[in-house]
Structure 1
Amino acid sequence: MNRPSSNMPPMVESRAALARDPRVDGNDSHDHSSISSAMLLTLAGFASLSLGDAVIKSAAGLWPSTGVAALRFTLGAVLLGLLLLVRSGPSAFFLPMPKYQIARGAMLATATLAFFTSIFLMPLADATAILFISPALTALLSAWLLKERVAPHIWVASVIAFIGVVLILRPNIANFGPTAALPLIAALAMSGVMMLNRKVAGSGGVLLMQFLLACFTAPFLILATIAAHYASIEGFTITAPPPQWVWIVCVVVACTSSVSHMLIYLGTTRASAAVVAPMVYVQLLVALLVGVFFYQDYPDLQAMGGAVLIIASGLYLWQRSRAA
């Protein structure tokens, strides 16, 4: 079901026309502006996601991670729905490309469950660092599934950033045991979300896309919560209603994360998924800062060296996108 573009927000409607493959008309100034804005939007989105992760981690031990994830996205869907209703009225609700919307929800639910559980069990910076294989996966998948041309400098930026991640990640991932697989699963699922964002780009307004994402993510998380509870999996059984702090955490993160995903979605509509993917590395820098200020987890020189490489990769990608 399609919606006339005249009902989209003006900014989204005008930018949708610029969300072309970067290889087409590569010298056009509009393409340069579109790529630069895409990188800024995704950078801001991923940075704010790390702040939300820190808030979520504060709920560890108070309620199962599955329940926290389900409550967070249920509240997010309600808040986004109310905002969309107030802003645009009942006519704003429609369902473009339903199969892709369901797939977006399934992918984000998988990523959320895996990552929430990992940060409940592992240090935030370590779990975040393992997550950063995602850009390389996104670049690979965008070339394979979306048939996008992945320029050599994008691969270079991803490799440089991943080397920085390895420096920060020590000791070896094997030392974390099976728990290390959770952020890896989250990384693959987040790559899927970015691919699917690209597929649905321009099919509706940004607010509608975020509302649909929350709506289709919440049911998967609720089912996972129920299944884990009745399977009597240790640490995932629900014995009491969520305490007050969990409600506060979920409301705060529902608001901040919805804004974060909106920024990331906007970014993927302005440039190819492979171009914006390396911006995810800013999450690691924010996670390190959060570790210092909230968990007194001070990075050493090797970790700082890794952070420098991550920043350098982002600056390199930025410079190449402007010089292209």
Structure 2
Amino acid sequence: MMAVAAVLAPFPDALAKILTEDFGITAVGIALTRFGLQSLTMFPLILALNGRKALIIKNPGLNFLRGVLLAVASITFFAALKVMPLADAVAIFFIQPVIGVLLGIIVLREKPTQNCITAILAGLCGTILIIRPNFIAAGILAILPIICALCFTIYLILGKYLSKENSSLIVHFHTGLGATFFIGLGILVENLINPSEIQLTAYLNSSTWVYLVLIGLSSSLIHLLYIMAYRLAPVSTLAPISYIEIVSATGFGIVFFAHIPDPLQILGMAIIAASGLILLWAA
């Protein structure tokens, strides 16, 4: 299940890249549709499994914050896909374990081991190798996947805390609701301030709706696979498998966009994957 999820994970991202590049759909619009459809598809499932108690969650404020973080992570990642190759954005996002360790050092005053320091430096070097050509082409926007990884890291930390008091499926559903509400509220406020900035007519195009629905449904399936996998096996077993996603993203990039990473970018991807595995082993 973990391997299937890792292989499929770049698919909705590839569709999002097509929507931003070819149809002019904004990253915010894609994120809103994704989380809205994800919440709709999850709702009957959690009701069937948990009944009415699925509608109640402990620590709703923290769960809403988690939804905000996921929304920001998604928007920044979709925005990154408009200006950089799919495989590059996915690979840079996998700096996330390094960011997790750095947060532990800075916030929790944890003392890193020599292996951790080596992995952090290696991960940063690998990221620079991938960002290098993208920064030249896209400028400061090339760091968007790093912002996404930072938000996602905090999102995961909150998820571990919240899952102690609620089932992971219920947490996932309410997080999606929080993300949908946050993005929808942002669009509403922006529309009140400057109506010309919000263009919803693109959603009436049948082609864009097909892509948007596929993004929502495939994202729900992928998250369910991740949830079920982590229920059945420990993180130490599953985490290395997640790096299949970098290879899969490279394949989707070649098939959909004819983008072949150069040798330095491939080296950067390998270094980032190695740094993540070193951190996992060190833990």
The equivalent of 2:11 in structure 1 is 51
**Mapped contact 2:80–2:141 kept (Cα < 8 A):** yes
State the SS of the aligned residue for 1:237.
coil
Aligned runs of 1:288-307 on 2, under 5 Å?
288-307=250-269
Q: CA deviation at 1:233?
A: 8.9
The alignment status of 1:246 with 2:208, answered yes or no, reads yes
State the SS of the aligned residue for 1:59.
helix
CA distance in 2, matches of 1:236, 1:49: 29
Aligned runs of 1:247-266 on 2, under 5 Å?
247-262=209-224, 263=226
Q: Out of 75, 90, 99, which is 1:137 matched to? A: 99
**Mapped contact 2:92–2:146 kept (Cα < 8 A):** yes
The equivalent of 1:36 in structure 2 is none
User: Does the C-alpha gap of structure 1 residues 155 and 223 become closer, same or farther in structure 2, counting only changes over 3 Å?
Assistant: farther
The equivalent of 2:30 in structure 1 is 68
Q: CA deviation at 1:224?
A: 2.5
The equivalent of 1:106 in structure 2 is 68
Aligned runs of 1:145-160 on 2, under 5 Å?
145=107, 151-160=113-122
The alignment status of 1:122 with 2:84, answered yes or no, reads yes
The alignment status of 1:237 with 2:199, answered yes or no, reads yes
What is the aligned-residue RMSD (CA, Å)?
A: 3.5
User: Does the C-alpha gap of structure 1 residues 265 and 51 become closer, same or farther in structure 2, counting only changes over 3 Å?
Assistant: same
**Mapped contact 2:135–2:141 kept (Cα < 8 A):** no
User: Does the C-alpha gap of structure 1 residues 287 and 246 become closer, same or farther in structure 2, counting only changes over 3 Å?
Assistant: same
**Mapped contact 1:76–1:254 kept (Cα < 8 A):** yes
In structure 2, stretches of 5+ residues that fail to align are none
Q: CA deviation at 1:229?
A: 4.3
**Mapped contact 1:130–1:184 kept (Cα < 8 A):** yes
Aligned runs of 1:1-324 on 2, under 5 Å?
41=2, 47-60=7-20, 61-145=23-107, 151-171=113-133, 173=135, 175-232=137-194, 237-262=199-224, 263=226, 267=230, 282-317=244-279, 320=281
Alignment TM-score, normalising by the size of structure 1: 0.71
User: Does the C-alpha gap of structure 1 residues 180 and 299 become closer, same or farther in structure 2, counting only changes over 3 Å?
Assistant: closer
User: Does the C-alpha gap of structure 1 residues 284 and 230 become closer, same or farther in structure 2, counting only changes over 3 Å?
Assistant: farther
CA distance in 1, matches of 2:253, 2:80: 15
Identity percentage of aligned residues: 28
Give deviations 1:180-199, integer Å, cap 9, x for gaps.
34333222211221121122
**Mapped contact 2:131–2:143 kept (Cα < 8 A):** no
User: Does the C-alpha gap of structure 1 residues 218 and 229 become closer, same or farther in structure 2, counting only changes over 3 Å?
Assistant: same
CA distance in 1, matches of 2:195, 2:139: 18
User: Does the C-alpha gap of structure 1 residues 266 and 217 become closer, same or farther in structure 2, counting only changes over 3 Å?
Assistant: farther
User: Does the C-alpha gap of structure 1 residues 257 and 290 become closer, same or farther in structure 2, counting only changes over 3 Å?
Assistant: same
Q: CA deviation at 1:125?
A: 2.9
Write 1 or 2 for the structure with the bigger share of helix.
2
Alignment TM-score, normalising by the size of structure 2: 0.80
